[in-house]
């Protein structure tokens, strides 16, 4: 992902996962962060919100958000075993989900700006200080949902 002169690369794999930032014009490495993830297929998302710019990285282990210097801002566990959809934003909220068809857990979350630390929901929770709402079986497997005129849309197969 290219943003303000920086190229952000996520390399989640079975051996050594990482997120790195390069200077776009020279290729000079600016920073590198190790990640506790295995292979993923979701694309990172740059979320510019009222609080800050965040690099949101979906994962099967957790969705993680980083500042533009590679510092972890927040994490959210509770995704399906394969994560493909790209996060998206609308009306100031971030939407993240994963819906592997073989899993009972196929969550979709709406997150407000400014989160810090672990924002994972407890066993009987559907919301908390930063998760506005969630649907434990609402996310699709492959297609990325979209937000349009106050509604979230996704393809169901």
Residue 30, pLDDT > 80, answer: yes
Between 40 and 24, the higher pLDDT residue: 24
- Total domains in the fold of the chain: 1
- In which band, very low, low, confident or very high, does the pLDDT at 77 lie, cut at 50, 70 and 90? very high
Q: What are the counts of helices (DSSP H) followed by strands (DSSP E) for the chain?
A: 0, 15
pLDDT, tens digit (0-9, with 9 covering 90-100), for 102-149: 999 899 999 999 999 999 999 999 999 999 999 998 888 888 888 899
CB 89 within 8 A of CB 147: yes
The answer, yes or no, to whether residue 155 has pLDDT greater than 80, is: no
* pTM for the model: 0.92
- SS3 of 49-83: CCCCEEEEECCCCCEEEECCCCCEEEEECCCCCCC
Average pLDDT, the chain: 93
We report the CATH number of the domain holding residue 18 as: 2.40.128.630
Please choose, from the candidates 65, 61, 64, the residue with its C-alpha nearest in 3D space to the C-alpha of residue 40: 61
Which tokens is 97 given? 């989900």
Residues of the domain holding 98 = 2-153
**According to the model, what pLDDT value does residue 101 have?**
87
Tokens linked to 129: 């200080």
Q: What does each C-alpha distance from 23 to 45, 53, 83 come to in angstroms? A: 18, 17, 28
The residues that bridge with 146 in the sheet, in sequence order, are 153
């Amino acid at each position: 992902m290219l943003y303000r002169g920086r190229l952000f690369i996520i390399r989640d794999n079975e051996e050594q996962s990482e997120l790195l930032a390069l200077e776009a014009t020279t290729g000079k490495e600016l920073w590198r962060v190790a990640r506790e993830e295995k292979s993923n297929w979701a694309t990172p998302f740059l979320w510019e919100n009222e609080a800050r710019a965040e690099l949101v990285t979906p994962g099967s282990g957790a969705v993680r958000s980083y500042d533009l210097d590679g510092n972890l801002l927040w994490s959210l566990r509770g995704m399906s075993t394969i994560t493909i959809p790209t996060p998206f934003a609308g009306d100031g909220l971030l939407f993240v989900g994963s819906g592997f068809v073989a899993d009972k857990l196929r969550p979709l979350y709406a997150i407000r700006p400014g989160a810090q630390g672990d924002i994972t929901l407890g066993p009987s929770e559907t919301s908390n200080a930063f998760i506005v709402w969630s649907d434990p079986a609402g996310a699709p497997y492959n297609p990325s949902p979209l937000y349009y005129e106050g509604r979230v849309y996704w393809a169901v197969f």
